[in-house]
């Protein structure tokens, strides 16, 4: 087995400024009709293909990248992931920090007779996003200047470092047909009124998405004739199915990862797509029980991060020391505290808080429950009695929001995980003063932090950015409201003869898959 796990230092800040040295090419030899078939797994059913109305923060990029145009895709340069011009364009060039020039390929036709892909569609799609549910990705977007039928310029209203990577290359950078979208009233869900891409899809709810070659596609051919994406929500079932030979590629749980590292199934390979998740134990600094900084610091020292990584993640997750994920600028290598139950106990005694009763809220999935169980045991050692309260997604995601009832007042401690795009700017936006009661559930604020946040957005020098973001994480840590836990990697297992390509956000880039 070829172990392709390697720490990809995914992005350099310079990536933005550079022009693309290579562009995306689908690996297919033109129309070799030898029945090349791939079976992969989607871990959820899809809800919406409309980039304006993705639900729940988990875009169905896998399908969109097969059937819809976008200007850039994720790719690799010098072994590092970055954006690359997609097979839909002749070129994409960032002229300066606020202008991006692009030129579409000619003759790419929308399905259902909606004509050719044009600059107008690009302008329509991006402008539409500014009023959509995902407008936050487009705050820096100003307009698209149309040069001609195929070329144009994206204009930003301010320099915005992450725009290519977190917006255009992600699921929200998908381009729709103006005519087709308007023909169905301006939005759609699972049935795109027109597609344009190497594949067309057919979806059977709850079962699978079948991707087959688009007969109208005139661009590069992908390798596989057909791709069957089975919808399997349980990681364990998917792993079993992979072992039983029913899947060629699937994302796996950390427990399975540990097992496969130890004892890999025959003819298979593991690929880490990315580790852009950051998980921490949050504390409500305004809650009477946690108002005392000493109590929060005690908790920081009491939690045994190593046990959590071992116990709940089978040693496969990376230790976290802040909100910046591995491979990004500003990633810290250590925290300002360490696991020290003795000190934690004395802090608690100092604060006169022994016998404290706390409620730990967490999403109801197995790994989090295990992590919560370990935290529960850790805190018990220093005399804090913890009740674990598992919650389903709905109540979990609204418990700290002032607009969604009164739970935020009772909120004590919780395990939280956010995901980010491949730019360090992203995580910090949720912890600024304006976010208190929205996503800043820890409910603290700091003038220095606000200052640094603004500086970070405009700064393009990566060393400076690193300094800014490191300092910001220190500020967070000093509030005592954060116990850094893990960065969970998104790991896939696939047949070793398959060359698999993934977005750093953890989706399969199916048109780029091939068999060697």
- Contacting positions for other proteins (CB under 8 A): 45-48, 55-57, 133, 189-190, 204-208, 230-234, 236-241, 243-246, 253, 255-256, 258-259, 306-307, 310-312, 314, 364-366, 369-370, 372-374, 376-377, 387-395, 397-398, 401, 403-405
The answer to whether the beta carbons of residues 140 and 163 sit under 8 Å apart is yes
Closer CB to other proteins, 93 or 389, in the complex: 389
The answer to whether the beta carbons of residues 209 and 190 sit under 8 Å apart is no
**Smallest distance, other proteins to C-beta of residue 229, A:** 11
Q: Which residues contact 136 (CB under 8 A, 6 or more apart)?
A: none
Closer CB to other proteins, 115 or 390, in the complex: 390
Q: β-strands 482-487, 277-283: how paired?
A: antiparallel
Measure the CA–CA gap between 427 and 323, rounded to whole angstroms: 6
**Smallest distance, other proteins to C-beta of residue 442, A:** 17
Closer CB to other proteins, 142 or 246, in the complex: 246
**Smallest distance, other proteins to C-beta of residue 100, A:** 27
Angle between helix 366-381 and 293-302 (nearest 10)? 110
Closest CA to 85 of 96, 97, 62, 101: 101
The answer to whether the beta carbons of residues 193 and 170 sit under 8 Å apart is no
**Smallest distance, other proteins to C-beta of residue 206, A:** 4
**Smallest distance, other proteins to C-beta of residue 387, A:** 7
The SS3 assignment for 346 reads helix
Closer CB to other proteins, 32 or 377, in the complex: 377
**Smallest distance, other proteins to C-beta of residue 170, A:** 16
Closer CB to other proteins, 59 or 480, in the complex: 59
**Smallest distance, other proteins to C-beta of residue 420, A:** 16
Closer CB to other proteins, 221 or 374, in the complex: 374
Q: First and final CA of the chain: distance in angstroms?
A: 14
Closer CB to other proteins, 89 or 344, in the complex: 344
**Smallest distance, other proteins to C-beta of residue 187, A:** 9
Closer CB to other proteins, 11 or 257, in the complex: 257
As beta bridge partners, residue 502 has 508
The answer to whether the beta carbons of residues 440 and 409 sit under 8 Å apart is no
Closer CB to other proteins, 397 or 464, in the complex: 397
Helix/strand/coil (H/E/C) assignment for every residue in 387-442? EEEEECHHHHHHCCCHHHCCHHHHCCEEEEEEECCCCCHHHHHHHCHHHECCCECC
Q: What is the CA radius of gyration of the chain?
A: 24
Question: Distance from CA of residue 377 to its chain's centroid?
Answer: 31
**Smallest distance, other proteins to C-beta of residue 316, A:** 12
């Amino acid at each position: 087995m070829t172990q392709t796990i390697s720490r990809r230092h995914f992005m350099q800040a310079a990536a933005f400024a550079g022009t693309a040295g290579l562009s995306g090419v689908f690996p297919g030899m033109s129309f070799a009709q030898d029945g090349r078939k791939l079976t992969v797994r989607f871990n959820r059913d899809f809800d919406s293909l409309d980039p304006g109305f993705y639900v729940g923060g988990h875009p169905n990029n896998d399908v969109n990248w097969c059937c819809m145009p976008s200007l850039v895709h994720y790719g690799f340069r010098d072994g590092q992931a970055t954006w690359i011009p997609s097979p839909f364009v002749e070129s994409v060039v960032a002229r300066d920090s606020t202008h991006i020039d692009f030129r579409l390929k000619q003759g790419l036709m929308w399905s259902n007779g909606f004509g050719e892909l044009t600059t107008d569609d690009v302008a329509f799609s991006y402008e539409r996003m500014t009023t959509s549910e995902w407008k936050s990705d487009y705050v820096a977007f100003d307009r698209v200047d149309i040069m001609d039928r195929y070329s144009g310029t994206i204009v930003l209203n301010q320099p915005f470092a992450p725009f290519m990577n977190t917006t255009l290359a992600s699921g929200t950078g998908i381009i729709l047909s103006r005519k087709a979208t308007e023909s169905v009233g301006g939005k759609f869900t699972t049935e795109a009124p027109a597609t344009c891409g190497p594949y067309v899809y057919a979806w059977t709810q709850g079962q699978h998405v079948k991707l087959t070659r688009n007969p109208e596609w005139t661009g590069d051919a992908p390798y596989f004739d057909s791709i069957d994406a089975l919808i399997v929500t349980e990681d364990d079932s998917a792993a079993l199915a992979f072992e039983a030979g029913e899947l060629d590629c699937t994302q796996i749980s950390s427990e399975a990862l540990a097992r496969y590292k130890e004892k890999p199934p025959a003819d298979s390979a593991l690929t880490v797509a990315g580790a852009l998740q950051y998980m921490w134990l949050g504390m409500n600094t305004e809650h009477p029980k946690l108002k005392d900084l000493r109590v929060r610091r005690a908790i920081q020292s009491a939690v045994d991060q190593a046990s959590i990584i071992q116990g709940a993640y089978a040693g496969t997750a990376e230790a976290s020391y802040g909100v910046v994920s591995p491979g990004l600028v500003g990633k810290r290598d250590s925290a300002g505290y360490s696991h020290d139950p003795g000190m934690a106990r004395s802090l608690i005694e100092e604060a006169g808080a022994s016998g404290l009763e706390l409620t730990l809220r967490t999403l109801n999935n197995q790994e989090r429950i295990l992590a919560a169980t370990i935290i529960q045991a850790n805190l018990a050692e220093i005399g804090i009695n913890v009740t674990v309260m598992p919650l389903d997604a709905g109540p979990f995601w609204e418990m700290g929001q002032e607009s969604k009832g009164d739970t935020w007042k009772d909120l004590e401690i919780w395990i939280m995980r956010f995901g980010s795009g491949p730019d360090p700017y992203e995580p910090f936006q949720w912890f600024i003063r304006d976010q208190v009661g929205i996503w800043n559930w820890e409910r603290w604020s700091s003038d220095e932090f606000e200052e640094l946040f603004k500086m970070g957005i405009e700064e393009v020098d990566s060393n400076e950015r690193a300094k800014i973001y490191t300092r910001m994480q220190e500020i967070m840590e000093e509030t005592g409201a954060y116990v850094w836990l893990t960065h969970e990697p998104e790991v896939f297992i696939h047949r070793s003869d398959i060359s698999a390509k993934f977005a750093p956000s953890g989706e399969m880039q199916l048109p780029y898959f091939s068999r060697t």
